[in-house]
Chain A
Amino acid sequence: MTSSNQPAILASHLVRRFGTFAAVDDVSFRVEKGEIFGFLGPNGSGKTTVIKMLTGLLPLTSGDATVQGIDVRSDPEGVRENIGYMSQNFSLYADLTVSENLTFYGRIYGLPPERLRKRMDEIVQLNGLGPYLNRLSAQLSGGWKQRLALGCAMLHEPSLIFLDEPTAGIDPVARRQLWDLLFELSAHGITFFVTTHYMDEAERCSHVAYIYFGKVIADGTPDALRELPAVKPKGTYRVEISAPHVTQALRAARTIPGIRSATIFGQSVHALIDDSLDLDLLRSQLLKKDVTVAEIRPLAPSLEDVFVELTYQHRAAEEASRG
């Protein structure tokens, strides 16, 4: 069934309509084995719908998808046998202990008792749940719940795991630990499909796609996306303007000719600027508008810059096509 050069996920021209509304509109992407694929997009943009389509929960209006080489349309059960899934609220049974939760999911996937015991040992060793085996999962902290949920999702040794907002609402340390764990597992050849809101997590992925209102508007490695001509048009560069009053600086920056776009980023303004407007000229232009500037320095675009830029351009194109 699954040969070694097959992609983990191949989605081509996925469409899902609810009535006349296209929640997913001609979405195609390819996830290779062993990748950590970050699937990003604002709420309601179709991330969860795509996951449901790929796991066979939602019929495709049109298009094709194979997951682990299995056709989602013809064998959704086969797909579900071969993937792990962890939802954003770590769907654990609060009134069951850690080992009971693991046993339940093991049985769901039909693991025979000896194999279940062996897998539980392995997972406990991997994520350090040992001391908590007999504790009710309700009593675990967010980070431990998440490790348990991940453990439940990978008991049956799937080589592809879907993680829907795995780090929503957990503390930064647990977040960092989860990513360390994902890298470790990924090194063992497990593919991850991760949705997230955190841009720093997107930066850690080996492959990201950005979905905006049902359409994928960016797809590639983070480095490739940063070099996209749409993000870094010829004859432009990016700067970071640090200023004591960022909102004032932003308002001023948007009126200066030669600044193509500007957004606030923490205590500074990120701007895309024509080559003709060099740093000194920019500084004097800002001073002319009574903006005190602490520092201006060139900047490589972040993934957030990439998505912001692509979203603007996508919107502009949509409006233009609507006339």
Chain B
Amino acid sequence: MVNPFRGFSAVFYKETLHVRRDFATLFFSLIIPILQMFLLGFGIDTNIRQINTVVYNADGRRESRELLDRLRNSDTFRLLRYVNNDKDLNDAIISGKCRVGIKIPVDYSDKLLHQMSAQVLVLIDGSDSSVAGQAINVTTAIGLDESLRRVLVNDATFAVDMRPKILFNPDSRSPNFFLPGLTAVLLLNVTTFLTAFSIVREKERGTLEQLFVTPVRPMGLLLGKLLPYLVIGFFELSMIVTAMRFIFSVPIHGNVFLLAFLSLPYIFVSLSLGILISSKATTQAQAMQLAFLTILPSIFFSGYIFPRETMPKFFFVLSYFVPATYFINITRGIILRGAGWTHLWTDALALFLMGTLLLVIAARRFHNKVIMA
């Protein structure tokens, strides 16, 4: 009877020795994700606040100063400079010192007093679209609010009163948004990279060739190689989740064990990707490039940084083929929205199917291109 997993324990034994011996690689593969986590957790705030703003107040009277106070109090603008002519206003924006320029005309107060429409010029540097968008929204809202205040008589209420309530992540904290998604990218990092490297390294050194002439079966070989990295991946995941909860105070609304369980199909996909890469690459440098090819879509097309809904149709469809898309939905679902199995089983299924397909392709490629070459 041929045992299809022949050689598994031997390969596992050897692979754990490699991991232990090559402590530097292990250390960096664990510490770099944590560093990334700190950078993204502390360093990046997607909420746009305190935009540098230059003001040319040609009016200077009470009404104009009130308007500026309202802009300042919105927390969106930081009134950095005051200038006295159009040229300086323009220069401040062109030089990049300010993103927004506000010009209040000489007759601003007069027009308001005479119930006429007063115009305020808002110049916006469009080179960063999210900053520009935020500046437009806030200035428009302040203009509207200011107008209504003047039109409505004392106790009148709005005819339509919108009451937005943010359900999850009510403070719109960036770590709450970034860190659950980050777990997907970091796990991919550990599992795909490390497994691909560990196989390609044996190709480079010729030890793989030697192994094929022993009774080791391909499944025994691959599983023996993958399992140590699966353990490392799991360790990494728990480290990230712990740091997320206790250092970045991201509340976890759902079940942590469900998260751990649902990370299995994702890790499965990542490991299969690693094998696929190793069946193609002959050097570690090549493996590195191919691995980056898998990392980039996971960052850009998974909804990790940019919302998928705003993507052009083509990329939106593409995002369905990126495993991280599903896992990010799982992590954000469990951590932020308290989602359960009933909400997430389709994502898990999608990952499982992807992993199976990839493993079949990878195993076939491995058999044809590596063993029989």
Contact = CB atoms under 8 A, between A and B. Distances in A.
Contacts of A105: 10, 214
Q: What range describes how many residues of A lie at the interface?
A: 20 to 34
A139 B332 CA distance: 49
A109 B206 contact: no
Q: What range describes how many residues of B lie at the interface?
A: 20 to 34
Contacts, number: 72
Interface in A259-318: none
Contacts of A109: 214-215
A51 to B, nearest CB: 9
A91 B210 contact: yes
B151 interface: no
Contacts of B209: 87, 91
B50 interface: no
Nearest to B371: A57
A110 B14 CA distance: 14
A85 to B, nearest CB: 4
Contact of A91 (B9, B207, B371): B207
A133 to B, nearest CB: 15
A175 B309 CA distance: 68
Interface stretch (B15-23, B60-68, B182-190): B15-23
Contacts of A86: 210
A228 to B, nearest CB: 33
A100 B14 CA distance: 8
Contacts of B22: 95
Contact of A96 (B10, B11, B14, B211): B14
A91 B17 contact: no
A59 interface: yes
Contacts of B2: 77
Contacts of A58: 372
A107 B214 contact: no
Interface string B4-37: 0011011101100110011000000000000000
B213 interface: yes
Interface in B64-82: none
B165 to A, nearest CB: 57
Given A94-B205, A108-B215, 11 more contacts: A55-B213, A57-B212, A59-B372, A85-B213, A87-B209, A89-B206, A93-B14, A93-B207, A105-B214, A108-B7, A109-B215
Interface of B: 2, 6-7, 9-11, 13-14, 17-18, 21-22, 205-207, 209-217, 371-372
Interface of A: 55, 57-59, 77, 80-81, 83, 85-89, 91-96, 100, 103-105, 107-110, 162
